[in-house]
């Protein structure tokens, strides 16, 4: 092989190796660590909670017992939330699932929510004593505000229309029952 062909082949192999390396995904470790660190602001949520709740719907005011179980997943980089509202007869009248996450590049928390046949991604803002999350709904916004103090979690839901006073349609007052290994417990083992 001539020196020119050898040099050309060496350059081609070097360039293709550089291109292959450029196509490798970045190390996920720093992103996951940033997400897990940000989720610590919401670590108070972890565990099991229960208490009275009510909402106002098309048929009027409805009273339930609300239960929440919440825990970290994916190395603490996301938080999984399941809420169940129990009717007086013990049947499930409401069931929801949420996944809370943090995007390090924008500094924004969000919640992917599934409830009552609906799903969506919504901005969640941690506060010094809880959080606020909102659902855009045409000319109004549905706003949920949670405040946690001394093992008690109070959350209200309001319909907000510009130029009008907010109208409350939901409230839950939960007490922390204890820790939970959910959702990590019960993972399928490798063998």
What are 59-106's pLDDT values in tens digits? Answer: 999 999 999 999 999 999 999 999 999 999 999 999 999 999 999 999
Which residue has better confidence, 189 or 134? 134
pTM of the model: 0.84
Per-residue pLDDT tens over the stretch 1-55: 555 555 555 555 555 555 555 678 889 999 999 999 999 999 999 999 999 999 9
Average pLDDT over residues 159-166: 96
DSSP 189: P
Highest mean pLDDT among 11-15, 56-60, 172-176, 183-187: 172-176
Tens of pLDDT, residues 93-139: 999 999 999 999 999 999 999 999 999 999 999 999 999 999 999 99
Say how far apart CA 156 and CA 154 lie, in whole Å.
7
Q: How far apart are CA 68 and CA 71, in angstroms?
A: 10
Q: pLDDT value at position 28?
A: 92
Max intra-chain CA distance, the chain: 88
CB 54 within 8 A of CB 66: no
CATH of 26-177, one of 3.40.640.10, 3.40.50.1220, 2.40.128.20, 2.60.40.10: 2.40.128.20
Task: Extract the tokens encoding 55.
Answer: 């909402």
pLDDT at res. 18:
54
SS3 content of the chain, % helix, strand, coil (to 5): 20, 55, 25
Residue with the two structure tokens 């040099």? 7
Judged by phi (left if over 0) then psi (alpha if -120 to 50, else beta), residue 12 lies in alpha
């Amino acid at each position: 092989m001539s020196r020119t062909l050898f040099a050309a082949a060496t350059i081609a192999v070097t360039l293709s190796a550089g291109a292959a390396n450029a196509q490798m995904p970045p190390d996920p470790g720093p992103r996951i660590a940033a997400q897990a660190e940000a989720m610590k602001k919401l670590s108070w949520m972890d565990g099991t909670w229960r208490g009275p709740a009510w909402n106002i719907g098309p048929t009027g005011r409805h009273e339930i017992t609300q239960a929440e179980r919440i825990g970290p997943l994916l190395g603490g980089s996301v938080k999984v939330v399941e809420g169940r509202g129990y009717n007086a007869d013990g049947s499930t009248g409401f069931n929801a699932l949420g996944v809370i996450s943090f995007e390090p590049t924008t500094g924004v928390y969000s919640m992917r929510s599934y409830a009552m046949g609906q799903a969506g991604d919504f901005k969640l803002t941690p506060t010094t004593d809880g959080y606020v999350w909102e659902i855009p709904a045409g000319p109004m916004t549905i706003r949920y505000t949670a405040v946690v103090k001394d093992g008690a979690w109070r959350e209200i839901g309001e319909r907000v229309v510009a130029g009008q006073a907010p109208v409350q349609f939901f409230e839950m007052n939960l007490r922390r029952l204890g820790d939970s290994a959910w959702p990590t417990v019960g993972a399928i083992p490798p063998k």
